[in-house]
């Protein structure tokens, strides 16, 4: 993109066009008159902005608006068919994916099974993109980027993965480069709990929190650390991998065989806690029993507080958010019970909450990143219209 000198007519036109583009993104389709009212600019200037944005393919006529006497006014909306992305969450035995566009339409989420014997970074992503596009009726050729949530630590600068128990076939180094080379996509890889933490900050329980820790409790465990609106990833991307931390001696009465926090609170441990003696039950199958079982919630809170205490001692966040399948199933009652076990003298201002991002927080965080990336890419073309 060519550099535009500040203060010149070309610079002013580009600035106005960016404003118009953002207003159409925010408000939806607008007429020339509506755009003029929102910007405070004249109708001729608004017409020029719309013409320039349409010329470079950022907007197009999408309908008409009746204003009474005289011809109907044309409404202009952002083109969503020019650039799209796919948000991907790679789970233990499945991959979830959804198409993302500039206006963040709600496209259908797909889930595909994985074959652990035929896995690769490019293969997993290719399958996810194809399935998501097919379900949404979107042309694959419009997909230019993906954001991938993985159950692993990812070091961006070195393109390095660690703690990759659920990623068979993915190399420790170079996964992002392989996907970009083989599929021609712009790739962002991040830890799944970090993406869920971003979603919690922007749309969940922690929107107003100065700092918070998202404690993800599911088949595996993880902690997302938001410090003043910035996710802390650590020197090598491994911050928050609490599942590998050894349990304290106080855990022995609760789970004598537990060596680390995954043994204490991971999926198999919660299945045993809630199970009725049946074999082969999954975490998803037993969690519905948790909601109205106060004894089980209390027993679970006794375990959760053991993992929360180190977070409080080291980070002293203003809020702890309980997320992941188990945290969400426990709901507000689990958060209340865990809060009762916190030392009020040591942490008098701590707030304990349940995640407020719904059932797909990882995809939500990935979607939010993609929307920003797509809009930034489109805005970069605006200078061409000036």
Q: What is the mean pLDDT of residues 335-352?
A: 97
Q: What percent of the chain has pLDDT over 90?
A: 85
pLDDT in tens, 123-182: 999 999 999 999 999 999 999 999 999 999 999 999 999 999 889 999 999 999 999 999
Q: Is the per-residue pLDDT at 70 higher than 90?
A: no
DSSP one-letter code for 230: E
Which 3 state secondary structure label does DSSP give 33? helix
Q: Which CATH superfamily is domain 205-356 in?
A: ATPase, nucleotide binding domain (3.30.420.40)
Whether the per-residue pLDDT at 279 is higher than 70: the answer is: no
Q: Residues 324, 332: contact at Cβ < 8 Å? A: no
Is the predicted pLDDT of residue 118 greater than 90, yes or no? no
Kindly report, residue by residue over 21-69, the tens digit of the pLDDT: 999 999 999 999 999 999 999 999 999 999 999 999 999 999 998 766 6
Helices (H), the chain: 9-27, 32-39, 43-55, 121-136, 175-183, 192-203, 261-265, 267-274, 283-286, 294-315, 324-340, 361-380
Q: Which residue has the higher pLDDT, 248 or 280?
A: 248
Local confidence band at 316 (pLDDT 50, 70, 90 cut-offs)? very high
Sign of the CA dihedral 175, 180, 182, 185? positive
Q: How far apart are the first and last CA of the chain?
A: 12
Give how far Cα 33 sits from Cα of 12, 46, 47, 78, Å.
20, 8, 9, 17
Q: Does residue 330 register a pLDDT over 80?
A: yes
Residue 231, beta-bridge partner list = 226
- How far from 276 is each of 264, 269, 280, 290, CA to CA, in Å? 18, 13, 11, 12
Distance CA 372, CA 313 (A): 35
Predicted pLDDT at 160: 97
Backbone dihedral angles phi then psi of residue 67, each to the nearest 5 degrees: -115, 20
pLDDT band at residue 381 under the 50/70/90 scheme: confident
The whole-number pLDDT of residue 276 equals 62
Do 84-195+363-377 and 205-356 fold alike per CATH?
yes
pLDDT (0 to 100) of residue 67: 66
Instruction: For residues 238 and 191, give the distance between their C-alpha atoms in angstroms, rounded to a whole number.
Output: 9
Could you tell me the residue ranges of all domains in the chain?
A: 9-79, 84-195+363-377, 205-356
Give the CATH class of 9-79.
Answer: mainly alpha
Q: How confident is the model at residue 115 (pLDDT cuts 50, 70, 90)?
A: confident
R_g (Cα) of the chain, nearest Å: 24
What's the CA gap between 57 and 35, in Å, rounded? 18
| Residue listed under structure tokens 């797509």 | 374
pLDDT tens profile 190-236? 999 999 999 999 999 999 999 999 999 999 999 999 999 999 999 99
- Tell me if the pTM is above 0.95: no
Q: Cα angle vertex 153, ends 149, 158, to 5°?
A: 105
pLDDT score of 1 more than 50: no
> To 10 degrees, the CA torsion angle through 305, 309, 315, 320?
10
Give the Cα separation of 78 and 106 in Å (integer).
15
At residue 8 the predicted structure's pLDDT band, cuts being 50, 70 and 90, is: confident
Bridge-based pairing of strands 143-150 and 319-323 is unpaired
Residue 189 has pLDDT above 70, yes or no: yes
The pLDDT-based confidence of 3 (bands split at 50, 70, 90) is: low
Q: How many C-beta atoms surround the C-beta of residue 99 within 10 A?
A: 28
The residue with tokens 């927080």 is 361
Choose between 294 and 2: higher pLDDT.
294
User: Cβ contacts of residue 227 below 8 Å, gap of 6+?
Assistant: 211
SS3 content of the chain, % helix, strand, coil (to 5): 45, 20, 35
SS3 of residue 290 by DSSP: coil
Question: What residues contact residue 343 under an 8 Å CB cut-off, 6+ apart?
Answer: none
Helix (H) or strand (E) holding 226: strand 221-227
Locate 262 and state its tokens: 């995954």
What does the alpha-carbon distance between residue 33 and residue 71 come to, in Å, rounded to a whole number?
Answer: 13
Q: Which CATH class is domain 84-195+363-377?
A: alpha beta
Return d(Cα 34, Cα 286) in angstroms, integer: 53
Per-residue DSSP letters for 295-353? HHHHHHHHHHHHHHHHHHHHH--SEEEEEHHHHHHHHHHHHHHHHHTS-TTT-TT-EEE
Contacts of 287 (CB under 8 A, 6+ apart): 270, 274, 325, 326, 329
Residue 382 has pLDDT above 90, yes or no: no
């Amino acid at each position: 993109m060519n550099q535009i000198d500040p203060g010149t007519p070309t610079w002013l036109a580009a600035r106005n066009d960016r404003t118009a583009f953002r207003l159409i993104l925010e408000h939806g389709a607008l007429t020339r008159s509506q755009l003029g009212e929102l910007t405070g600019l004249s109708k001729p200037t608004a017409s020029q902005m719309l013409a320039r944005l349409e010329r470079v393919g950022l907007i197009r006529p999408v309908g008409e608006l009746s204003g009474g006497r005289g011809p109907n006014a044309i409404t202009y909306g952002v083109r969503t068919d020019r650039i799209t992305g796919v948000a991907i969450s790679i789970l233990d035995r499945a991959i979830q994916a959804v198409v993302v566009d500039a206006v963040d339409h709600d496209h259908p989420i797909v889930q595909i099974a994985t074959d652990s014997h035929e896995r690769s970074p490019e293969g997993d992503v290719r399958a996810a993109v194809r399935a998501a596009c097919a379900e949404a009726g979107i042309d694959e050729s419009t997909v230019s980027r993906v954001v991938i949530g993985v159950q692993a630590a990812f070091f961006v600068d070195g393109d390095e993965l660690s703690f990759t128990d659920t990623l068979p076939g993915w190399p420790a180094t170079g996964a992002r480069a392989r996907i970009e080379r083989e599929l021609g996509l712009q790739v962002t890889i991040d830890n799944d709990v970090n993406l869920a933490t971003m979603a919690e900050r922007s749309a969940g329980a922690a929107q107003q929190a100065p700092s918070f820790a998202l404690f993800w409790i599911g088949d595996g465990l993880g902690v997302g650390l938001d410090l003043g609106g910035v996710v802390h990833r650590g020197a090598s991307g491994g911050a928050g991998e609490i599942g590998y931390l050894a349990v304290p001696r106080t855990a022995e009465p609760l789970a004598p065989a537990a060596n680390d926090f995954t043994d204490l609170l991971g999926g198999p441990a919660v299945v045993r806690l809630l199970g009725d003696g049946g074999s082969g039950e999954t975490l998803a199958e037993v969690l519905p029993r948790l909601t109205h079982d106060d004894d089980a919630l209390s027993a679970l809170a006794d375990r959760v507080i053991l993992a929360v205490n180190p977070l409080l001692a080291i980070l002293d966040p203003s809020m702890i958010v309980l997320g992941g399948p188990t945290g969400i199933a426990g709901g507000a009652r689990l958060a209340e019970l865990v809060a009762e076990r916190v030392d009020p003298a040591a942490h008098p201002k701590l707030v304990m909450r349940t995640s407020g991002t719904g059932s797909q927080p990882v995809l939500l965080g990935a979607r939010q990143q993609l929307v920003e990336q797509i809009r930034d890419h489109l805005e970069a073309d605006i200078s061409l219209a000036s």
